[in-house]
Chain A
Amino acid sequence: MFHGYLPMILDGLGVTLSVASVSLLVACVFGMVGALAKLSASPGLRWGATTYTTVVRSLPDILLMLCVFYGGQIMLNRLADAQGWGYIDINPFLAGTLTLGFVFGAYLTETFRGAIMAIPRGQIEAGHACGLSRMQVVRFIVLPQMVRHAIPGFTNNWLVMLKATALVSIIGLDDMVHRAGLASAATREPFTFYALTGAIYLAVTTVSILALTALERRFSRGVRREVAR
């Protein structure tokens, strides 16, 4: 049915999923730093974080990706020329994951900020009163509780980011969409292969939704539900 191209496409799914998971890690780092900066007492940090989230959320992700890819290439070339290294190609995997991480870090900043703010202030004060350090308060009081509040926003962002991974095919990464293009060209059946790719994406989204709903339930164990009354 797929002229023997199915294994190649499924291999591409591996690329897509590794792009997605590495981007998610990067996004979590950016998001956490952004959220803490937005909630910090320093006006400079708050201003920086606000600029970051506003600018990133005002631009199409594909534009940012091309910016990082081509801009990075030019900077790398200049550096290589100055150091006499010869020509270096920018790695599309690196460019793609860094951009997606940077972009979705801005969205996660808001998610994490909201989740932290949902923790009663008194608990943090109590932590300080018990003599915990700032780091300990974050580790033992803030982080475990913010997970529950962050999961719905996190689920949303993960789903959007998963779909945004399709963009890495534009900067030449050999992901599922790119391979579907190759298989289409070889077999002259573009509909078959792009529809297959779409179906695989849908399967991954569905599994994600089921898994994250289960996770949300797990982290909400022992939490009284207001609606149930």
Chain B
Amino acid sequence: MINWSIIVETFPAFLEGLQITLILLVISVAAGLVLSIPLSVARASDNLWLRTPVWLFTYVIRGTPLLVQLFIIYYGLPQFELIRDSALWPYLRSPWVCAWLAFTLNTTAYTTEMFAGAIRATPMGEIEAARALGLSRFQVFRDVFWPGAWRRALPQYGNEIVQMMHATALASTVTIVEILRVARDVYTNYLVVPESFGMAAVFYLVLTLILTRGFKMLEKHYLRHLDPAASAAPAIPRTDKAPANA
């Protein structure tokens, strides 16, 4: 059924693809995280002039397909002479920069909305208490506001990273040789599905598994105070069964 010699032969290519996938994921997510922190504060602000542009940005990005965004950047931008003549052109003609740009814009939009939601869910009393203690605005943000919002957003953020990892597969459409592109090349060479796409599926499955487990552990660490079993002595043995009425 499965041709193992093809698997052995193409495995190194898959490992290289895995490396590219991870690089794409890490650089986009890192940039997205850095950008979305100030943007989410603006998005949750009472100031209309701060809130509206960020809302427009996230609405447009979240309302259009990532594939189209990638094509607008990669195929679309060179349409303009202004861009072809600019100092940025050597970068913008690289599929890497285009993919990174598209992925970063995308994850920034989703993460911004997520963090903004977590910020809005902050109990006012926490802020008032911190202000009453005489903390500066920046200290309130850094020591009270953000740690709480981050904890509230953590489960969703884990999902976003997994989604983003899957989204990097779109880079295969602009000549970047990540896992899916390797699979497509293997398919073109040998016309076999289990050894090409099946192999890629195994890679994505394992990556997803590692990421979800990792975030479960992070949640355990950061949300420890919310787990009654971990903070109090467990008087009742814990079962994983949901109550009948849930």
Contacts and interface: CB of A to CB of B under 8 A. Distances in A.
A63 B64 contact: no
Given A60-B180, A166-B65, A198 B72 contact: yes
A10 B58 CA distance: 25
A18 B123 CA distance: 45
Nearest to A188: B79
A170 B68 CA distance: 12
Contact of A59 (B64, B66, B167, B201): B201
A201 B68 contact: yes
Instruction: Bin chain B's interface residue count.
Output: 35 or more
Contacts of B244: 121
A17 to B, nearest CB: 14
Nearest to A167: B67
Main secondary structure of the interface of B (DSSP, over half): helix
Contacts of B60: 202
Nearest to B192: A74
Contacts of A85: none
A132 interface: no
Contacts of A159: 63
Nearest to B205: A58
Interface string B172-199: 1100000010011001000101000110
Contacts of A201: 63-65, 68
A191 B68 contact: no
A161 to B, nearest CB: 11
A144 interface: no
A66 B76 contact: no
Which of B80, B193, B204: most chain A Cβ within 10 A?
Answer: B193
A1 interface: no
Interface residues of A, number: 40
Interface string B37-49: 0000000000000
B246 interface: yes
Contact of B64 (A70, A121, A184, A198): A198
B19 to A, nearest CB: 17
Contacts of A169: 67
A68 B71 CA distance: 24
Contact of A62 (B180, B193, B209, B245): B180
Nearest to B200: A63
A197 interface: yes
A195 B205 contact: no
Nearest to A61: B166
10 contacts: A59-B208, A62-B170, A63-B197, A70-B197, A117-B246, A159-B63, A167-B67, A177-B67, A201-B65, A201-B68
Interface of B: 60, 63-69, 71-72, 75-80, 166-167, 169-170, 172-173, 180, 183-184, 187, 191, 193, 197-198, 200-201, 204-205, 208-209, 244-246
